[in-house]
Amino acid sequence: MANVSTLNATGAAIDAVRTEIAAGPRGKKPKKVLSGRNVMIYGILGLAALYYLLPLYVMVVTSLKGMPEVRLGNIFSPPMEITFEPWVKAWAEACTGLNCDGLSRGFWNSVRILVPSVIVSIAVASVSGYALANWRFKGSELFFSVLIIGAFIPYQVMIYPLVIILREIGIYGSLTGLVIVHTIFGMPILTLLFRNYFAGLPEELFKAARIDGAGFWQIYGRIMLPMSLPIFVVAIIIQVTGIWNDFLFGVVFTRPDTYPMTVQLNNIVNSVQGVKEYNVNMAATLLTGAVPLIVYFVSGRLFVRGIAAGAVKG
């Protein structure tokens, strides 16, 4: 009897071990955690991470300090007294020239530029990419090559002719003009992106739809669009960050009352008049960086994919 009970006990123990083995290893690998190799790898990566995080930290810390504390010195020390006044001031009171209604004006200008630019540029580019991938005709590849080469031409070369064109049409200086400019310069990369994506879809789908009698727009709307949600998200990420961060087009193609946020930010911080309020400047800088940062942190992996898509070649 005793034998059976010990047997049972060992059996139970064996079973327990078995399930444990089946569940796979638990906890850390039984490797030396503090091997010299690991210390080096994590040490270097940690130091690099510190260098990358430092500016963000400095921005946040400075923007939460009062001016007397900023003048006291150390930009790295955390604020002794947290104040949100610089943020309020940056948003609503900071001056550029004679206007003293803060960055809010630039923010809303940027939103008014961003929304139509993103929609129009993606609409045009996705249709172009679709036509190039599935409906080629004589010369279409040639124009596509010119477009891609155009992506490498410095903007400075094409800016002035564009100013003349927009002036002739009568929309130079307006938000509409800037939307058109963003659409134009977003086209190469976006068209490339969509063309490659559509070309990668199974051709049978397209052929089947053709046999069923669907036309150009029908195939686009009913087959291509529903299948390409991820690439649209990638395109939106590229465009939102790109257009929001633009400075050159903003400064060339708008007037002071329609300046986008980046241009206004630069004017606020680098204005020569008045006392420099570093905490307000940093709050304003953070506010301007907030939109792309939020896009970045929310989109995560897709952002990386967007960058990679921007980087891949034809």
DSSP 84: -
96 - beta bridge partners? Answer: 99
Q: Indicate the residue among 179 and 252 with the shorter CB distance to another protein.
A: 252
Give the residue from 81, 103, 106 showing the smallest Cα distance to 92.
Answer: 103
Which span sits near another protein by CB under 8 A: 11-19, 81-89, 111-119, 237-245?
237-245
Site for another protein in 8-37 (CB under 8 A): none
Query: In this structure, are residues 78 and 61 in contact, taking their beta carbons and an 8 Å threshold?
Result: yes
- Which two three-digit tokens encode residue 11? 């059996």
Answer yes or no whether residue 297 interacts with another protein by CB under 8 A.
yes
In whole angstroms, give the CA distance from residue 67 to residue 86: 9
In whole angstroms, give the CA distance from residue 220 to residue 129: 11
In whole angstroms, give the CA distance from residue 257 to residue 270: 18
Answer yes or no whether residue 167 interacts with another protein by CB under 8 A.
no
Answer yes or no whether residue 245 interacts with another protein by CB under 8 A.
yes
To another protein, the closest distance from the beta carbon of 195 in angstroms equals 10
Answer yes or no whether residue 111 interacts with another protein by CB under 8 A.
no
Single residue of 73, 202, 226, 274 touching another protein by CB under 8 A? 73
To another protein, the closest distance from the beta carbon of 115 in angstroms equals 18
Query: In this structure, are residues 270 and 152 in contact, taking their beta carbons and an 8 Å threshold?
Result: no
Single residue of 67, 209, 295, 302 touching another protein by CB under 8 A? 295
Helices 278-299 and 36-63, axial angle in degrees (round to 10): 130
Site for another protein in 193-212 (CB under 8 A): 210
Answer yes or no whether residue 262 interacts with another protein by CB under 8 A.
yes
Q: Indicate the residue among 10 and 255 with the shorter CB distance to another protein.
A: 255
In whole angstroms, give the CA distance from residue 211 to residue 208: 5
Answer yes or no whether residue 228 interacts with another protein by CB under 8 A.
no
Single residue of 12, 16, 153, 225 touching another protein by CB under 8 A? 153
What is the number of alpha carbons within 13 Å of residue 50 lying toward its C-beta?
7
Q: Indicate the residue among 17 and 57 with the shorter CB distance to another protein.
A: 57
Q: How many residues does the chain have?
A: 314
Single residue of 157, 168, 204, 273 touching another protein by CB under 8 A? 157
Which span sits near another protein by CB under 8 A: 19-27, 96-104, 171-179, 265-273?
265-273
In whole angstroms, give the CA distance from residue 251 to residue 255: 8
To another protein, the closest distance from the beta carbon of 205 in angstroms equals 14
Single residue of 52, 98, 168, 274 touching another protein by CB under 8 A? 52
The values of phi and psi at residue 169, to 5°, are -70, -25
Answer yes or no whether residue 313 interacts with another protein by CB under 8 A.
yes
Q: Indicate the residue among 15 and 76 with the shorter CB distance to another protein.
A: 76
Which span sits near another protein by CB under 8 A: 1-9, 14-22, 90-98, 160-168?
160-168
Scan for tokens 């395109």, then name that residue. Answer: 235
Q: Indicate the residue among 165 and 208 with the shorter CB distance to another protein.
A: 165
Answer yes or no whether residue 134 interacts with another protein by CB under 8 A.
yes
Q: Indicate the residue among 41 and 82 with the shorter CB distance to another protein.
A: 41
In whole angstroms, give the CA distance from residue 76 to residue 63: 12
In whole angstroms, give the CA distance from residue 52 to residue 56: 8
In whole angstroms, give the CA distance from residue 258 to residue 106: 7
In whole angstroms, give the CA distance from residue 253 to residue 185: 13
Site for another protein in 75-104 (CB under 8 A): 75-76
